[in-house]
Amino acid sequence: MGSGLTLDFAIAAVDRALRSVFAPARSTRPVPAPVSDPAHPLSEADRRESAALMRVNHAGELAAQALYHGQALVARSAATREMLLAAARSESDHLGWCETRLKELAARPSLLNPLWYAGSLAIGAAAALLGDRASLGFVAETERQVEGHLDEHLSRLPAGDARSRAILQAMRAEEIAHGAAAAAAGGVRPPAPVRALMRRTARVMTGSAYWI
């Protein structure tokens, strides 16, 4: 298929977008244990903090899917495209885990999710237009920054929220693996100004999703 788009592939991309944003998230793997202890519920303040943090992570996983979908749209090689779509499927599990945890915490996802998806799809496609090595390097840098973001959230989670902690720890391990695979496949690290712009963009999203 090269870098061109077939009609079937374009339709599949639209279907992925609609499912990601509007359909209930479903994971193919169980939510990481442990299950919350109903005998020792979180305080209301801790529940709100956990819910806000998991809303941010839900938005981040939706954005990660969109990045991969956008990159896959214009990937030059079939091998790169399949690597990106496989990573997106893993992120779909993460999205499902976060959505399940939000429901357990009686909380909702970010109201701005359609914006996060559309913006991230465009960013992913733009990165991929620079070539597969640049695109894979963008993946590796994204996952590096996500690792730092998850480390911060793990430090901020209420001590009693073992359920959310288990989810974030599992996600962290897989994000690191995605980044390592992209680097090993020949990804070239983005220049410093691009990395800084990525961090600023992520701060806008995480700061907004915490509240909205």
Q: Is residue 187 part of a domain?
A: yes
Distances (CA, A) of 181 to 33, 83, 94, 100, 195: 26, 9, 18, 28, 19
**Helices 132-156 and 162-184 meet at what angle, rounded to 10?**
160
Q: Is residue 57 part of a domain?
A: yes
Other beta carbons within 10 angstroms of residue 122's beta carbon come to 13
Q: What pLDDT sits at residue 30?
A: 87
Find the angle CA(129)-CA(130)-CA(134) to the nearest 5 degrees. Answer: 120
Q: What pLDDT sits at residue 142?
A: 92
Find the angle CA(113)-CA(96)-CA(19) to the nearest 5 degrees. Answer: 55
Q: Is residue 33 part of a domain?
A: no
Provide the domain limits for residue 192: 7-19+43-211
Q: Is residue 24 part of a domain?
A: no
Distances (CA, A) of 14 to 66, 82, 118: 11, 17, 11
Q: Is residue 88 part of a domain?
A: yes
Structural domain total, the chain: 1
pLDDT in tens, the chain (212 residues): 444 455 565 566 666 665 656 556 677 788 887 766 665 689 999 999 999 999 999 999 999 888 998 999 889 899 999 888 888 888 889 999 999 999 999 999 999 999 998 999 999 999 899 999 999 999 999 999 999 999 999 999 999 999 999 999 999 999 999 999 999 999 999 989 889 988 998 899 999 999 99
Q: What one-character DSSP code corresponds to residue 185?
A: T
Give residue for tokens 């077939």.
Answer: 6
Q: Is residue 32 part of a domain?
A: no
Q: Is residue 186 part of a domain?
A: yes
**Helices 192-211 and 132-156 meet at what angle, rounded to 10?**
40
CATH code for position 114:
1.20.1260
Q: Is residue 34 part of a domain?
A: no
